[in-house]
Amino acid sequence: MTVQDQFNYRKQIFDDAIRWRKPDRVPHISNFALWPILDYGVPLSQACRDWDLMERVMRRFIETYKFDSPGFLVGLLGNPRKMNDTIGQGYNVIDDAAGTVLIDDMDLLRAEDYDALITDFPSLMWSTLLPRKYPRWSEVKIADMKLAIDEFVRYQSYMERIKKACVEEYGLPLIASQYNLTGFELLFNIFRGMKGLAYDMRRIPDKLLEAVEKLDFANGALDKLFDDSLANEASAFGFNTVILGHNMLSLTQWECYEWPYLKHVIDRAVAADSTVYIFAEGVISRFYEYFTDVPKGHLAIQLEQDDVFDFRKNLPNVAVSGGMTTRLLGSGTAKQCRDYAKHLIDELGTDGGFILCQDKMMSYIRDASPENLKAVCDFAADYRP
Amino acid sequence: MANFEELKTAMGDLDEVLVLQILGEVAADGGDSATEALAACQAGMDIVGEKYESGEYFVADLIFAGDLMAEAAALLKPLLADTETISLGKLVLATVKGDIHDIGKNIVKALIEAAGIEVFDLGVDVGAEAIVGCLQESGAQVLALSGVLTFAVESMTEIVAAVKAAGFDDVKVIVGGAPVTAEYCEIIGADAWSINAAEGAGICRDWLSA
């Protein structure tokens, strides 16, 4: 098969999976973040400052393990560390000895900033949020700022290069060809953080809701993301998004801040006969009831801590992605891993509706042994249920 | 005279304004009723726990509740005579070495303190040596270890081994956080595990009440 044939084949098996058609085989998505760097054998701090090295890391990972899509890996490996070195930042700490990156809860946005966010978000970003994120922002010399910008351009260039390589050299559809975060997730992951939002939901709930609506619906922001995503031929699915903030929300809060925006894109996908892929980090089972009315064939949810068999029982209308346990990949045998992958595919994937994926984002070196991972990847690529 | 039933309900409802208003009245009265006020806040936290169990509240509410309770305790502490602070027992709490996530730990801390347990919070990225030292100095009966990363499981295993090696066989150990499972609990050598802050706090309270 040519690379284009491989790309088309993979897009087809992803589409078959989410639309519940019997696929030629079950597709296999990577849910890896930092592990490929550690597997390559270089310190995280080195890889995060050298984009040529990072490209070699990515290519080796893609060529060795042969997933059907890098999943969200492409973006997660990227972090313009040298830019951060130049203008300062203190929100994440690389520990090369432990092989970890620890990220603090973000609090760039303060409660008193909501009015400015609602009125003029770009202005708030430049005047307030960036100086908070980068402590040396206001005093940085022009030469250093140029270095920072150059580094950011190199980072962006790497991102585009590796995405292009995935599609044009390896025939891999992308899941996250662009980042689509809803307003609440933007606040949760980037600007306000868990603790800040916990306070805002109690102290200024109306203001928070106004900000979320502004981020999602002002000037058709979410619709534009959806339209751009739909037009992206490199993507395996019509629209993708990642949610994490739901892990802190009660049902009432979910209904207010998160669900309306997810429902909006799901409804749009159904209307356009397209598909949505949601990576639900953490636990999503508390919210299954909200997805029961989604027409079959338009939605897939990638799980982390939720049980894939329980998901299938509760949501027979929604395709599920996940199942391959870190416990086995990290400390089982290759045979145990293959046997479990077969069990998952036979039980969940014979008639579509299933995508094989790891049950957590693989960042720590012992999350998977290379031999076990290779065994599962080879099996998934060959097995026809 | 402050209305302690109203204080209890306000704490349970996470009505910050009313809680602080009533505590202000307690202070303005000279603090003679600080013990009753603290008990009312603790009873209010029990309501928070019940609402969490019923699904009405979730993590965001526990974060807010924890901080509100901590603020209430800080306001009342200067008003309480030492003899009035009766502890159910002592507990050492930490996020383990290699992990700096502290939100879950802090929620657990607030719930445990609200249950009348004296907490020695060692913070984040804490290794075996500091924990063994704190157990020796504090005489705590319970050790609670928290972590979010998979890596944390290894740290927990090392810490529990060090605690046992130091002779603290009677110290009960509970582990919590996203990567923890029943299987990992056994590997770590802990006595209990939970990924639910309210449940974890309840286990600690039961141990110290027995």
**What is the 3-state secondary structure of A290-320?**
HHCCCCCCCEEEECCCCCHHHHHHHCCCCEE
- In this structure, what token pair is assigned to residue A88? 């300062």
Closest CB to A100 among B60, B98, B181: B98
Q: What is the pLDDT of residue B102?
A: 82
CATH architecture observed for domain B4-80: Orthogonal Bundle (1.10)
Task: Give residue A180's pLDDT band: very low, low, confident or very high (50, 70, 90).
Answer: confident
Mean pLDDT of A316-330: 96
Task: Judge: B149–A282 Cβ closer than 8 Å, yes or no.
Answer: no
With 80 as the cut, is the pLDDT of residue A252 above it?
yes
With 90 as the cut, is the pLDDT of residue A82 above it?
no
Domains B4-80 and B89-209 share a fold: no
Q: What is the pLDDT of residue B121?
A: 94
Q: What is the pTM of this model?
A: 0.90
CATH architecture observed for domain B89-209: 3-Layer(aba) Sandwich (3.40)
With 90 as the cut, is the pLDDT of residue B18 above it?
yes
Q: What is the pLDDT of residue A79?
A: 60
Task: Judge: A249–B103 Cβ closer than 8 Å, yes or no.
Answer: no
Contacts of A184 in chain B (CB under 8 A): none
Task: Judge: B98–A195 Cβ closer than 8 Å, yes or no.
Answer: no
Identify the residue with better confidence: A69 or A79.
Answer: A69
Q: What is the pLDDT of residue B12?
A: 97
Closest CB to A198 among B56, B64, B183: B64
CA distance A272 to A227: 10
With 70 as the cut, is the pLDDT of residue A90 above it?
no
CA distance A202 to A75: 33
* Of A55-64, A69-78, A121-130, B105-114, the least confident: A69-78
Cα separation values, A273 from A291, A293, A296, Å: 17, 16, 11
Q: What is the pLDDT of residue A383?
A: 97
Q: What's the one-letter identity of residue A278?
A: I
Least Cα separation, residue B110 to chain A (angstroms): 14
Task: Judge: A104–B100 Cβ closer than 8 Å, yes or no.
Answer: yes
- In this structure, what token pair is assigned to residue B107? 């929620």
Task: Kindly report, residue by residue over A207-251, the tens digit of the pLDDT.
Answer: 999 999 999 888 788 899 899 999 999 999 999 999 999 999 999
Contacts of B98 in chain A (CB under 8 A): 95, 98, 100
Mean pLDDT of B81-91: 72
With 90 as the cut, is the pLDDT of residue A278 above it?
yes
Task: Give residue A99's pLDDT band: very low, low, confident or very high (50, 70, 90).
Answer: confident
Closest CB to B57 among A95, A250, A367: A250
Angle at B85 between CA B84 and CA B90, to 5 degrees: 155
Give the HSE-up count for residue A281: Cα atoms under 13 Å, Cβ half-sphere: 16
Question: B126 - beta bridge partners?
Answer: B96
The ipTM value here is: 0.89
Q: Where are the domains of chain B?
A: 4-80, 89-209
Q: What is the pLDDT of residue A260?
A: 94
Q: Which residues of A touch B (CB under 8 A)?
A: 93, 95, 98-100, 102, 104-105, 194-195, 197-199, 201-203, 247-253, 282, 286, 305, 326-327, 330, 360, 363-364, 366-367
With a CB-CB cutoff of 8 Å, which residues 48-77 of chain B face chain A?
55-61, 63-64, 67
Q: How many CB atoms lie within 10 A of CB A220?
A: 11
Contacts of B183 in chain A (CB under 8 A): 327
With 70 as the cut, is the pLDDT of residue B77 above it?
yes
User: For residue A92, what is the nearest residue in chain B, using CA coordinates?
Assistant: B100
With a CB-CB cutoff of 8 Å, which residues 3-22 of chain B face chain A?
14, 16
Query: Chain A within 8 Å of B36 (Cβ-Cβ)?
Result: no
Q: What is the pLDDT of residue B10?
A: 98
End-to-end Cα, chain A, rounded Å: 21
Interstrand relation of A92-95 and A100-103 (parallel, antiparallel or unpaired): antiparallel
Task: Give residue A183's pLDDT band: very low, low, confident or very high (50, 70, 90).
Answer: very high
Taking the CA atoms of residue A138, residue A139, residue A145 and residue A151 in that order, the dihedral angle to the nearest 10 degrees is -80
Task: Give residue B28's pLDDT band: very low, low, confident or very high (50, 70, 90).
Answer: very high
Percentage of chain A lying above the pLDDT 90 cut: 69
Q: Which of B11, B52, B56, B63 to mutate to test the interface with A (most CBs of A within 10 A)?
A: B63
With 90 as the cut, is the pLDDT of residue B87 above it?
no
CA distance A137 to A269: 41
Task: Judge: B150–A102 Cβ closer than 8 Å, yes or no.
Answer: no
Mean pLDDT of A101-128: 89
With 80 as the cut, is the pLDDT of residue A35 above it?
yes
- Is the backbone of residue A26 left (phi > 0), alpha (psi -120 to 50) or beta? beta
Task: Kindly report, residue by residue over A256-272, the tens digit of the pLDDT.
Answer: 999 999 999 999 999 99
